[in-house]
Chains A and B, each alone.
Chain A
């Protein structure tokens, strides 16, 4: 016997259905939804009204140069801008030679960074004549790097050397050498600051804490008791106190240990950041090392690979892949934690923002301008942290052990 065809099921997709199922499924849920809607709309309207009619964005606007480079002499701004150009150029080269999945990730990061810089360039073209040519050159350097890599892919071989060298070139450009005047006059690190300093501290911190952390993790697993216990002691002591303590220690106690020699505040803070991050890095890497099955090392040994080769080529690459999220998390933390150097007298972005908030002109405004400044600063931090987080997800997907 043939059954009559059933009517089609009630439509279960579409916005209206979604609303009904999730927000208005019964009278009680409907009530909560409506109440929430009222609160959200009210908050948004208040926020928008404040942003459009009351906030004093012009103070943020007027101080952009301070946020970027603090008291770096205006006539020498071409020096930090050359560093930006150099970095964009190298980034362009890296993005241009990248192959496969990793290449894609580098390219996307480059794309975003160029977007960020392009936005600044467009703004300065119209509003900041003193730096507009410098920004334009930096952007062109980025494109030039990318195009050069397309014509000359063999540059890939020299990239790591070039990146390493660029750090010294940037340091040289920023510092200059002795002399009271002239284009290459000395600019003491005390004059550096703002975003420039934030980036310097975090990039150098990441670049040096990474290998140091790996070395500590390997040392902790060493068969030689002296090395092993040194690493354990180091890691546990460093992790036993907050970064702020170590910044103070480096600032106040280090000169005592060094017999009165007092390195630049910047160096002291940088060393504290590197040593601090390395201890955490070491523990992350150790977690990865322990996750690699014993059979991997055995297979490497059975093939005759030396212990160093089997660690370097077999165990470590897998261990690092296994802990990418933790490592990137650490880098994101380090990037934000550089704001703590404020308390040892350095002027990173956070310190400059506080300084601007306390300017007499700002104080005259009723309620101050802390809110405006903090919103802008948070957006800056958020943009770069979020971008790192995105890169981490992409890396994980590309290299993670799970997908292979």
Chain B
């Protein structure tokens, strides 16, 4: 696709809310490959934004740019009024305020569940061990696996591991949660338990950006759905808009394949 074809659909958050994430004119290349093209996206506090699109469309890259797991080459990203620049202090600040959940869980296999969850609060937030463990138990109860605290990740099922990963991110008490296809690597029968945790989190008012193929989730708790293809935002709207009356041809054909 040539650059002339770049549409510039803005995915702005509703006016009136307080902005927590602001992405302007974001561009990223992998060598010659233009993976993100002019992305404009903002998110209000407490909003749940669901990003959908075919694989290779740049949705994972987009959210990985927000906490600097990927570096962007052009444009501006601001999280909680901190601009993401090469300044390591800013990167550290932003990472402290954003939790991330990965497709492949990425729990630390050599540490117990409790150690996985308390590591960052102790090391990064300089919390006392006892305090961190108390907090960890609170969040492990929230994801409904307090009884697994002393086990190692390898002893848990995929669904349990992903819930531990969510608790690990939450124990840092971040302002934003980023979910990168959190259920894609799970057996179908355990997808539900992870989604349930995410739904509860959304209902409690957590700001979330969720890259997923779970349309049921998007419909139930999504405030806005962003459809991406070939590195750009193609269409933005409420879940109702998307599932009842999508406008773009590309969106229609994608939805017809997965619904």
List residues of A whose CB falls within 8 A of some B CB. Answer: 293, 295-296, 298-306, 309, 313-314, 317-318, 321, 399, 401, 403-404
Contacts and interface: CB of A to CB of B under 8 A. Distances in A.
Contacts of B96: 304
B109 A301 contact: no
Interface residues of B, number: 28
Contacts of A314: 108
Contacts of A304: 92, 95-96, 120, 124, 172
Contact of A305 (B68, B110, B120): B120
B100 interface: yes
A402 to B, nearest CB: 9
A301 B69 contact: yes
B102 A404 contact: no
18 contacts: A295-B102, A296-B106, A298-B102, A299-B100, A299-B165, A301-B67, A302-B67, A302-B95, A302-B102, A303-B120, A303-B124, A304-B96, A304-B124, A305-B119, A305-B124, A321-B110, A401-B110, A403-B154
A399 B110 CA distance: 8
A309 B123 contact: yes
Contacts of B172: 303-304
Contacts of A303: 95, 99, 119-120, 124, 168-169, 172
Contact of A313 (B95, B98, B104, B119): B119
A314 B120 CA distance: 11
A299 B102 contact: yes
A330 to B, nearest CB: 22
A304 B175 CA distance: 13
Nearest to B69: A298
Contacts of B124: 303-305
Nearest to A312: B123
A96 to B, nearest CB: 24
Contacts of B243: none
Given A304-B124, A404-B109, 6 more contacts: A299-B165, A302-B67, A303-B99, A313-B119, A314-B108, A403-B154
A295 B102 CA distance: 8
A109 B180 CA distance: 47
Contacts of A300: 108
B110 A318 contact: yes
Interface of B: 67-69, 92, 95-96, 98-100, 102, 104, 106-110, 119-120, 123-124, 152-155, 165, 168-169, 172
A314 B111 CA distance: 9
Contacts of B92: 304, 306
A301 B95 contact: yes
Contacts of B95: 301-304
B69 A404 contact: no
Contact of A299 (B68, B108, B110, B154): B108
Contacts of B98: 302
Nearest to A317: B110
Contact of B100 (A302, A401, A403): A302
Nearest to B152: A404
A233 to B, nearest CB: 29
A155 to B, nearest CB: 21
Nearest to B125: A304
B160 to A, nearest CB: 15
Q: Which of A302, A305, A313, A404 counts the most B-chain CB atoms under 10 A from its CB?
A: A302
A313 B124 CA distance: 13
B14 to A, nearest CB: 28
A318 B119 CA distance: 16
A302 B95 CA distance: 6
B154 A404 contact: yes
Contacts of B69: 298, 301-302
B231 to A, nearest CB: 21
B220 to A, nearest CB: 26
Contacts of B110: 317-318, 321, 399, 401, 404
Nearest to A300: B108
Nearest to A302: B100
Contacts of A309: 123
Contacts of A306: 92
**Residue of B69, B98, B102, B108 most packed against chain A (CB within 10 A):** B108
Nearest to B178: A302
Contacts of B153: 404
A314 B144 CA distance: 26
Q: Which of A295, A298, A306, A403 has the most CB of B within 10 A?
A: A298
Nearest to A307: B88
A300 B96 CA distance: 11
Contact of B109 (A298, A302, A313, A401): A401
Q: Which 3 A-B pairs have the closest CB atoms?
A: A299-B106, A303-B120, A295-B106
A295 B105 CA distance: 8
Nearest to A320: B110
A301 B155 CA distance: 24
B34 to A, nearest CB: 23
Contacts of A404: 109-110, 152-155
A314 B96 CA distance: 18
Contacts of A295: 102, 104, 106
B155 to A, nearest CB: 8
A296 B99 CA distance: 15
